Amino acid sequence: MRVEVPRIASRERVTTLPNFRSAGRTVDRPLLTLLARLQQKHGKAFASEGGLRRMIAQDTGHCPGVSTLQKALVRLGKQGLLVQVWLRAGQILPDHGVASHGTRLVWLPQCRRQRLSARAWNAKQDRRSGHETRMSGHKASELVSKLAGPPAPPSYVPDTGKSLDTERARQLAALADWARKERPPDG
């Protein structure tokens, strides 16, 4: 059943569709089904709260209330059924796009061990902290310095005063001397 629903803002009240609570339903099952579908392509689901509310309303014909999704995500996180983090604006999404303000990244654990790990991680996670997928300038310089390794020994650094032709000729002469010394005598 696909219902046409206009775009919904995060905190917007929707009065044109029935509410889950007034119909005696919970949003948990439709939310988990939707997140599983969204996760299939990139391994993690990402959407804003308004986007999730709109997609659930399209799928079920009932629109979640203003705080229904927030409470459901926290409740399901405590059970270890999902992990959610807020992305800061400008962070990289799993589809290599750029996140806007209010985007959350949600991942559904696939086995019992992952669910236990998700439950423990969610218990100590600060919900207000943002998640970064893009490095800041300071972290990038640290990474580059660690990847660069130690500087090359001076014997491998060509003298800047010489031209490339003279350096090449010197290296070829050194290679020829080495080959003469290493070659066994004929006979």
Whether 147 contacts 84, CB under 8 Å: no
Please give the pLDDT value at position 108. Answer: 94
Please give the pLDDT value at position 13. Answer: 82
Question: What is the DSSP secondary-structure string of 115-161?
Answer: HHHHHHHHHH--TTSEE-SS--HHHHHHHHHHHH-SPPPGGGSPPTT
Range with lowest mean pLDDT among 8-12, 23-27, 92-96, 167-171: 8-12
Please give the pLDDT value at position 115. Answer: 93
Over residues 84-112, the mean pLDDT reads 88
Q: Where are the alpha helices (DSSP H) in the chain?
A: 28-42, 49-60, 68-78, 112-124, 137-148, 164-182
Instruction: Map out the domains of the chain with their CATH numbers.
Output: 28-134 (3.30.420), 141-149+157-181 (no CATH)
CA angle 53, 89, 130 (to 5 degrees): 85
Please give the pLDDT value at position 160. Answer: 61
pTM of the model: 0.65
Range with lowest mean pLDDT among 87-91, 132-136, 146-150, 164-168: 132-136
Asked whether the predicted pLDDT for residue 143 surpasses 70, the reply is no
Please give the pLDDT value at position 16. Answer: 83
* CB neighbours of residue 21 within 10 Å: 13
At 99-134, the pLDDT tens digits run: 888 888 899 999 999 999 999 998 988 766 766 666
